[in-house]
Amino acid sequence: MPDTRSFRFIAPVFAVLLSVPCAAAAQSSQPLSATVVIHADKPGAEINPDIFGQFAEHLGHGIYGGIWVGKDSPIPNTDGYRNDVVAALKDLHVPVIRWPGGCFADEYHWRDGVGPVAQRPVTVNTNWGGVPETNAFGTNEFLDFAEMIGAKAYINGNVGTGTAGEMADWLKYMTSDQDTTLTKLRRDGGRDRPWKIPFFAVGNETWGCGGDMRPEYYADLFRRYASFLKTPPGERPLIIASGGHDDDTSWTKVLMSTVHQNMGAISYHYYTIPSPTHDWQHKGPTIGFGENEWMSTLVNALKINDYIKQNIAIMNKYDPQKKVGFFVDEWGTWYDSAPGHNPGFLWQQNSIRDAVVAAATLNIFESHADRVRMANIAQMVNVLQAMILTDGSKMILTPTYHVFHMYIPFQGATLLPSDVKTAQYTYGKQSIPAISVSAAQGRNGVLEYSLVNLDPDKPVKILTTIEGANPSQVGGSILTGPAMDSHNTFDDPDAVHPVAFTGAKLRGHHLEVTLPPKSVVVLSLQ
């Protein structure tokens, strides 16, 4: 097909790199061109580490078999937690974990998951597969797990089938230091001192599985429930309201205009599917797809930038001081269930396409760091765009895991504005920027620079000018693969993994980089 890509200016944007179907094709392709100006002398907002957060719902094998195998399992574990999964997540520096859902949260009654495990009731997970829920993994198990990997806890309360009193008691169970029946219950379960609960949400997706509510009705419920969430002085969590999804901004408008206290953040959900028409019955396969689905996936993924802008504009009208955060606490790719797996368990393979989506999305979150202060990819293990996949005693790290690991230096860094001029990646009638980039100054003073090539066939030659800094050294890593669906398997767990990147040339204030197709590169300059 003729090359119809054009050159255009794009405001501060972030780059995503993709690789070619084969290395020979990549080498023979004429590189596209892009220029970037990084304003190191005009630092922006801090990139909150929590935008690299995770989500662990009682869904499929996300908890059972993924995180938790029980103390009697032959799989190596510590007090029931898988040793391999715990080690991998600790190495990822996970800042925060959201639990127990998701849709599961609004049918979850916390008392079912405390006390002696043998005495806990077995319930039914009506949202995900209609399978028995043993409640062996409850409040104590989750909070101990969060502490084990060094992550903060984000608890999602039950509005759909729960009461304000039940929610208030749950928070007291976790945080109270008084001698009460609730604290005795906690101590009898093995936890003497209270936990620190930094984040607590009042309901989940109340527009859908959380109660099929109108935003006006939920706003009243939020005010009521939140008023009963009481803790010892100084221990009150940031309270999160259930917000909208996709292009629906009505929830943000109603909450911002009618809730005037107790609301520290509004949640927002967005999932990327390949289907151009957002046909949830035919989303598309995880592997074995063509370039049409590569393009449609990326087109849909990048839409989140405009949706975030629309919500932020409403928030700025009512909250110009930006006291209320915008939490994208469910996001990621969602494909058709993998053959051979229970469709209600949402197990899917994870390829270099997911890595590119993850990097481009993280770049977008970073660009809105002054308002987007948390994001939780769905989900941590064995569900949707997972970090980790397990099969019995086997475990693999996904390309998405590797992107999150490459982006660790951005946690807590200071955003540096970037001006980008880039060629377009065009397929058929659709066209998107060929690259996504983000730059920041790390806490250690090092300039961190992420670049993503969204084109699966052509490399991109990028000339970067750094204003306000004069680095003398550059080094970094690259993640790519030979095919659009390159992925790791239990037989070949390291087919896709980062390697050292040597394609960056630094000359004073100028940096030249040629990004291979479908690739993610993170550079450190000092």
Express each pLDDT in 321-372 by its tens digit. 999 999 999 999 999 988 889 999 999 999 999 999 999 999 999 999 999 9
Structural domain contains residue 305? no
CB 135 within 8 A of CB 58: no
Structural domain contains residue 312? no
CB 237 within 8 A of CB 174: no
Q: Tell me which of 392, 410, 428 is where a domain ends.
A: 410
129 and 23 inside one domain: no
Is the model's pLDDT at 19 over the cut of 80? no
Confidence of residue 508 (pLDDT cuts 50, 70, 90): confident
DSSP annotation string for 76-142: -EETTEEHHHHHHHHHTT--EEEES-SGGGGG--GGGGSS-GGGSPPEEETTTTTEEE---S-HHHH
254 and 267 inside one domain: yes
Q: Tell me which of 352, 375, 410 is where a domain ends.
A: 410
Is the model's pLDDT at 318 over the cut of 80? yes
216 and 188 inside one domain: yes
CB 237 within 8 A of CB 325: no
Q: Residues 103-132: what's their mean pLDDT?
A: 97
Identify the pLDDT of residue 118. Answer: 94
Integer Cα distance of 36 and 26 in angstroms: 22
Angle at 89 between CA 86 and CA 91, to 5 degrees: 110
Structural domain contains residue 462? yes
Is the model's pLDDT at 15 over the cut of 90? no
Q: Tell me which of 410, 437, 463 is where a domain ends.
A: 410
62 and 40 inside one domain: no
CA dihedral 465, 468, 473, 475 (to 10 degrees): -60
Identify the pLDDT of residue 2. Answer: 32
Structural domain contains residue 338? yes
Q: Based on the residue annotation, tell me whether 512 is a catalytic residue of this protein.
A: no
72 and 38 inside one domain: no
Q: Residue 17 is part of a domain; what is its CATH number? A: 2.60.40.1180
pLDDT digits (tens, 9 = 90+) for 299-309: 999 999 999 99
387 and 447 inside one domain: no
Integer Cα distance of 274 and 315 in angstroms: 30
Respond yes or no on whether the N-terminal peptide bond of residue 290 is cis (omega within 30° of 0). no
Percentage of residues in the chain having pLDDT higher than 70: 94
Structural domain contains residue 300? no
Q: Residues 102-114: what's their mean pLDDT?
A: 98
Helix 352-367, helix 291-318: angle, nearest 10: 20
400 and 474 inside one domain: no
Q: Which of 107, 330, 366, 448 is labelled catalytic?
A: 330
161 and 209 inside one domain: yes
Rg of the chain in Å (alpha carbons): 23
Average pLDDT, rounded, for the chain: 94
68 and 40 inside one domain: no
CA dist 246 → 91, 251, 278, 301 (Å): 32, 11, 11, 11
Percentage of residues in the chain having pLDDT higher than 90: 92
Is the model's pLDDT at 428 over the cut of 60? yes
Identify the pLDDT of residue 29. Answer: 63
Q: Based on the residue annotation, tell me whether 57 is a catalytic residue of this protein.
A: no
Integer Cα distance of 198 and 149 in angstroms: 16
Structural domain contains residue 308? no
Of 3, 13, 4, nearest to 421 by C-alpha is: 13
Is the model's pLDDT at 26 over the cut of 70? no
Q: Residues 503-518: what's their mean pLDDT?
A: 95
Q: pTM higher than 0.85, yes or no?
A: yes
Structural domain contains residue 430? yes
Count of structural domains, the chain: 2
Structural domain contains residue 370? yes
Q: Are strands 418-427 and 32-39 parallel, antiparallel or unpaired?
A: antiparallel
Is the model's pLDDT at 21 over the cut of 60? no
Q: Residues 267-294: what's their mean pLDDT?
A: 94
Domain containing residue 11: 7-45+414-525
Identify the pLDDT of residue 135. Answer: 98
Q: Which of 57, 107, 141, 205 is labelled catalytic?
A: 205
Q: Residue 330 is part of a domain; what is its CATH number? A: 3.20.20.80
Q: Which amino acid is at 74?
A: P
37 and 61 inside one domain: no
437 and 501 inside one domain: yes
pLDDT digits (tens, 9 = 90+) for 60-98: 999 999 999 999 999 999 999 999 999 999 999 999 999
192 and 221 inside one domain: yes
Identify the pLDDT of residue 198. Answer: 98
Integer Cα distance of 114 and 188 in angstroms: 10
